[in-house]
Amino acid sequence: MFSYHLLSALLPLIDAREITFPPASGYSQQPFLAHVGIDISTGSAFAGLTTYANLPYVHCLAAEGEHVEKYDIAILGAPFDTGVTARPGARFGPGGIRGGSRRINSAAAWSVYTGENVFLSWAKIVDCGDAPLTFLDNTVALRQLDAAHQLISGRPANSSEYPTPRIITLGGDHTTTLSALRSTHQAWGQVSVIHFDSHIDTWDPKVLGGGVSHYAGVNHGTFLHIAHEEGLIRNTSIHAGIRAPVMRRKGDVRNDVRCGFEIITARDLDRVGVTGVIEQLKERVSGSKVYISVDIDVLDPAFAPATGTAEVGGWSTRELLSILDGLRGLQIVGADVVEVAPVYDNVGETTVLAAAEIVQSLLGLMVHGPVITAA
């Protein structure tokens, strides 16, 4: 009797719910199983194909002349990991981060910290899927990624106020940031880079790669040196979370300064706190357009074991999220989360959950600070 009453009490509630599905761009939602009277409105976040945070998929890389739905912020995967110096596997990063984001439901994503829901704002956010990149030739792969970035940021935005769409890239090893910086340079001019990482990544290609060939010199530890050489970035850039050793006693840091960087070490956080780190970052890049690159190895391996070049003694996920959310007000024109190599993750999916949350914080910064084009 009890179960009968419970059931009859619940049934009207279930019937009253609308059936909803993850949105597929260009298709209207259809009721499902209505003919047998079953409502399955819950749990849709874990059904269907996986996009970042269950956002609609848009074929942003469609050929010229094809209809492409407009967007303001695009998620783009860059499955590339043949520019690494240690453990490979970041080519599976985009899929891993999307997997870690499945629990994020745009209708129920109100932040208790900011009071905002980044998915219910002026900005239309979509997932463009991955750029198709060859895994047999780094030079060709980066050219493909350059083209994908330029195509996606070159389309007209959905907003009439802010005409250039912005991109958040899911890496891929850190070499992929070079393509993103080439693209932001084309659309927005030189940017300051806020680079969260345990490594400086400004190594001279003659030092990291040994100068054996030009090809070998373009890798995940030299891309910021190359970005500087190509004139893509300003001399007002900054690293945060640095703790990995350098290869030369003084030469690497001297070259780092020449490439336009200042350093906040991992342990500086103990000295100045989250607020102090936020202040130094904001002061360094103030007045310029900013690109934020998050190498997941900025986190301690306890919080992000699934990465190629893990370094102990890093920041916690909470500390990094607090720092990121504290950067509101900056003009963020592009961002990425890179070096996620899901094969080294644990059964609790610690790393991909963290990466998915970091992407959401980056989205928050972009939504909060729209940028008018000026290149």
- State the Cα–Cα distance between residues 317 and 350, nearest whole angstrom: 10
**CB closer to Mn ion out of 130 and 201:** 201
Q: Which residues are annotated as a binding site for Mn(2+)?
A: 174, 197, 199, 201, 295, 297
Cis peptide before 77 (omega within 30 of 0): no
Please tell me the count of residues contacting Mn ion according to CB under 5 A.
4
| Distance of closest approach, residue 295 Cβ to Mn ion, in angstroms | 4
| Distance of closest approach, residue 201 Cβ to Mn ion, in angstroms | 5
Segment contacting Mn ion (CB under 5 A): 143-151, 163-171, 195-203, 259-267? 195-203
**319 binding Mn ion? (CB under 5 A):** no
Segment contacting Mn ion (CB under 5 A): 67-75, 155-163, 211-219, 289-297? 289-297
- State the Cα–Cα distance between residues 260 and 26, nearest whole angstrom: 44
- State the Cα–Cα distance between residues 142 and 303, nearest whole angstrom: 30
**Considering only residues 204, 295, 319, 336, which one is a binding residue for Mn ion as defined by CB under 5 A?**
295
Tokens describing residue 9: 């009490």
Please give the DSSP secondary-structure letter assigned to residue 108.
G
- State the Cα–Cα distance between residues 148 and 304, nearest whole angstrom: 28
| Distance of closest approach, residue 149 Cβ to Mn ion, in angstroms | 18
Beta bridge partners of 191: 233
Segment contacting Mn ion (CB under 5 A): 15-23, 105-113, 173-181, 269-277? 173-181
> Within 10 A of 162 (CB to CB), how many other CB atoms are there?
16
**CB closer to Mn ion out of 124 and 174:** 174
**Considering only residues 174, 239, 289, 368, which one is a binding residue for Mn ion as defined by CB under 5 A?**
174
| Distance of closest approach, residue 308 Cβ to Mn ion, in angstroms | 9
Query: Contact, 21 vs 44, CB < 8 A?
Result: yes
Terminal CA-CA length for the chain: 72
| Distance of closest approach, residue 173 Cβ to Mn ion, in angstroms | 8
| Distance of closest approach, residue 265 Cβ to Mn ion, in angstroms | 15
**CB closer to Mn ion out of 127 and 295:** 295
Q: Which residues are annotated as a binding site?
A: 174, 197, 199, 201, 295, 297
Residue 117 exposure: Cα atoms within 13 Å on the Cβ side: 11
Segment contacting Mn ion (CB under 5 A): 56-64, 119-127, 143-151, 290-298? 290-298
CA distances, 144 to each of 15, 28, 83, 137, 178 (Å): 49, 33, 15, 11, 12
Whose CA is closest to 295, among 187, 207, 170, 180? 170
Q: x/- site string to Mn ion, residues 196 to 235, per CB under 5 A?
A: -x---x----------------------------------
Please give the DSSP secondary-structure letter assigned to residue 170.
E
Note the residues at the interface with Mn ion (CB under 5 A).
Answer: 174, 197, 201, 295
